[in-house]
């Protein structure tokens, strides 16, 4: 379950040491934008040492690496993959060709280190206009693909427009990315809300993303974690309805009925599937029974 992905600057020990205690489902050790070019070596060493030593509990471990047009990405993979992070997050991903180059290197490093080839998943950051237009090709480019993740800051620079809290300028990209991800059978993650103080704006932004079909959202501040977790968790009403759906299915089976209805509405396969997703999520978050 991945409702929140919290960025931790890769060269900041104070943030890293508390990474597992901040309530996010995933933590992203950032070797890219949060690390100055002359500190890439220090950040890799610090993240390596932290991953070898510290316990991050149930948090999924993601490492954001530098883009393929930099001199850093191969060293990032050489040093990070042996530590078996759950996910590698490549940046500025532009298309299937980019992914093929990355995957070839990951295959090589995994093989060299005795790690099952293909076991490290990928969540690419799509933050260029070309990346957005190629979203489906990227999403279907490798079996390693776990999700697509929208990065709006670089994207709006590429679009040559202002980034706003309302986000009208990224409406197309948000729709395109979530549609491509769902068509590829993978998850979709929304861009961070960058005003750390504006928790009301954050909630509105997260609800918008959830309404579009996003699975969760990246966050750049620990202060944003609980709000985003709450938005992307199923509500008590959603859980109760999902339980009613399964109760109706069970009852119809008992009665030998082919058609199933609940409160006068037909229960079809998509409704049952959605109910299952809600109950699976509830079970993972709160330990609720999932029947």
Partner 1 sequence: MYPADSIHLNKNGKIKKEELAKMKIIKAAIAGTVESSDVMISVMPGEGKVDIDLNSKVGMYYQDEILKVMKEVLQELDVPSVKIKAVDKGALDCTVRARLKTAIKRAAGEAK
> Contact between 105 and partner 1 (CB under 8 A)?
no
> Contact between 54 and partner 1 (CB under 8 A)?
yes
**Shortest Cβ 192–partner 1 spacing (Å):** 23
> Contact between 14 and partner 1 (CB under 8 A)?
yes
> Contact between 46 and partner 1 (CB under 8 A)?
yes
**Shortest Cβ 55–partner 1 spacing (Å):** 11
d(CA 226, CA 23): 7
**Shortest Cβ 14–partner 1 spacing (Å):** 4
Backbone angles phi, psi at 122, to 5 degrees: -130, 135
> Contact between 40 and partner 1 (CB under 8 A)?
yes
Check: CB of residue 65 under 8 Å from CB of residue 91. Answer: yes
Cβ distance to partner 1 smaller for residue 82 or 213: 82
**Among 1, 33, 70, 75, interactor with partner 1 by CB under 8 A:** 75
d(CA 244, CA 230): 22
**Shortest Cβ 69–partner 1 spacing (Å):** 17
Starting at the earlier edge strand, list the strands of the sheet with 87-89.
121-122, 87-89, 60-64, 26-30, 4-9, 216-219, 187-190, 147-150, 125-126
Please tell me whether residue 264 adopts helix, strand or coil conformation: coil
Backbone angles phi, psi at 112, to 5 degrees: -60, -30
Interface with partner 1 by CB under 8 A: which range of 7-15, 185-193, 233-241, 246-254? 7-15
Q: Site residues (CB under 8 A) for partner 1?
A: 12-14, 17, 40-42, 44-46, 48-50, 52-54, 75, 82
């Amino acid at each position: 379950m991945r409702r929140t992905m919290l960025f931790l600057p890769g060269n900041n020990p104070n943030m890293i040491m508390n990474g597992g205690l901040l309530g996010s489902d995933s933590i992203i050790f950032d070797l890219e934008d949060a690390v100055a070019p002359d500190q890439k070596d220090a950040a890799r060493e610090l993240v390596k040492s932290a991953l070898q030593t510290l316990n991050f509990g149930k948090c999924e471990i993601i490492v954001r690496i530098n883009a393929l047009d930099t001199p850093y990405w191969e060293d990032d993979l050489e040093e990070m993959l042996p530590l078996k992070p759950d996910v590698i997050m490549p940046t500025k991903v532009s298309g299937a060709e980019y992914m093929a180059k990355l995957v070839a290197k990951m295959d090589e490093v995994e093989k060299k280190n005795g790690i099952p080839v293909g076991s490290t998943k990928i969540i690419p950051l799509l933050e260029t206009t070309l990346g957005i237009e190629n979203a489906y090709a990227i999403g279907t480019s490798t079996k390693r693909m776990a999700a697509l993740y929208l990065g709006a800051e670089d994207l709006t620079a590429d679009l040559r427009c202002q980034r706003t809290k309302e986000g009208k300028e990224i409406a197309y990209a948000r729709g395109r990315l979530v549609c491509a991800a769902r068509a590829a059978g993978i998850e979709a993650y929304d861009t961070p809300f960058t005003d750390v103080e504006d928790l009301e704006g954050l909630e509105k932004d997260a609800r918008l993303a959830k309404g579009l079909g996003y699975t969760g959202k990246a966050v750049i501040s620990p202060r944003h974690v609980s709000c985003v977790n709450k938005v992307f968790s199923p509500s008590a009403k959603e859980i109760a309805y999902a339980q009613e759906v399964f109760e109706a299915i069970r009852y119809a089976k008992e009665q030998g009925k082919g058609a199933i209805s609940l409160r006068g509405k037909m229960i079809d396969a998509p409704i049952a599937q959605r109910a299952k997703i809600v109950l699976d999520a509830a079970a993972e978050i709160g330990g609720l029974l999932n029947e």
